[in-house]
Amino acid sequence: MATRKAATTKKASSTRSKTASTKSTKSTRTVSAPAATAAATATTPSFSESVKQFSFWRSLGAELIGTFLLAAVFIVGQGQPLYTLFAVVGIILFVGTVSGSYINPALTVAAWITRRISWIRAVGYIVFEIIGALLALVVLNAFVSGAASSATTGAATTIFEAAKLTAGKEWFVFFSELLGTAIIGFALANGLRNAQERLTSAFTVGFGVFIALMISFIAASYVGATAILNPAVAFSLQALSWSVWPIAVYILAPIVGGAVGFFLNDLLKGRQR
């Protein structure tokens, strides 16, 4: 009898423990599901939530100002790598803490593909980057027009434009744009890792742009072309038209190159949390 009672007691206790564990599992699942949903919502806000945030519009304004300054320096400096280096360093120090200073639609797409920014922010960045680059063209054109109208002698002043693509040499420019933007993407991904150290981050990206332009600038010059490495700046240099090759060279190639640079950085250094 004692043995039967002990066995019955053990069965009852085991049944109770199973029931308790089942209830705790259910309660854990019930509690964790809303928490996970809330975390996902906080990470990726909806469109309506994003546009209501002042920080979202501040970041868009920072991208507009940054791309305006970059395009203006690129036009005035005629794409010289050294001028662009210091321009990028200054822009990152100016507005890097606000938006990250992507200032390049190709790098913005690469950041979205690698889940560094949301699609809402990526679309906003691209739109405002293009607006900033076009504003640089309008402002500098106004200065050039004023100089041309007031000058009485000498050659007419013209704004710097990208060289036309040479027929049969488009693939060379395509790969120079792809290679250069891959270098910049790799540098920017490194710079974002050191975002807390602003000066280090700025010079990391700046020297990446300098190296990329040095390689691509010389490579493109061999076939009489201009290295741009930025679809927004390509608008400023009036390099784009409704033709296959300009779109492929100055939009598609930089987007592919930027994504390659970001993925290569993640492959070598691991995905940053």
The Cα–Cα gap between 165 and 243 comes to: 11
Average model confidence (pLDDT) across the chain: 84
Threshold 0.75, pTM exceeds: yes
* Mean pLDDT (whole number) for 166-184: 95
Confidence band, pLDDT 50/70/90 cuts, at residue 28: very low
Question: Does residue 78 register a pLDDT over 50?
Answer: yes
Please state which of the ranges 71-75, 182-186, 210-214, 239-243 shows the lowest mean pLDDT. Answer: 239-243
Closest CA to 232 of 181, 171, 186, 169: 181
Question: Does residue 221 register a pLDDT over 80?
Answer: yes
Sign of the C-alpha dihedral, residues 92, 94, 95, 96?
positive
More confident residue, 70 or 17: 70
CATH number for 53-269 (one of 3.40.50.720, 3.40.50.150, 1.20.1080.10, 3.30.1780.10): it is 1.20.1080.10
* Mean pLDDT (whole number) for 212-232: 95
The Cα–Cα gap between 82 and 78 comes to: 11
Task: List the beta strands (DSSP E) in 13-154.
Answer: none
Question: Is 101 strand, coil or helix?
Answer: coil
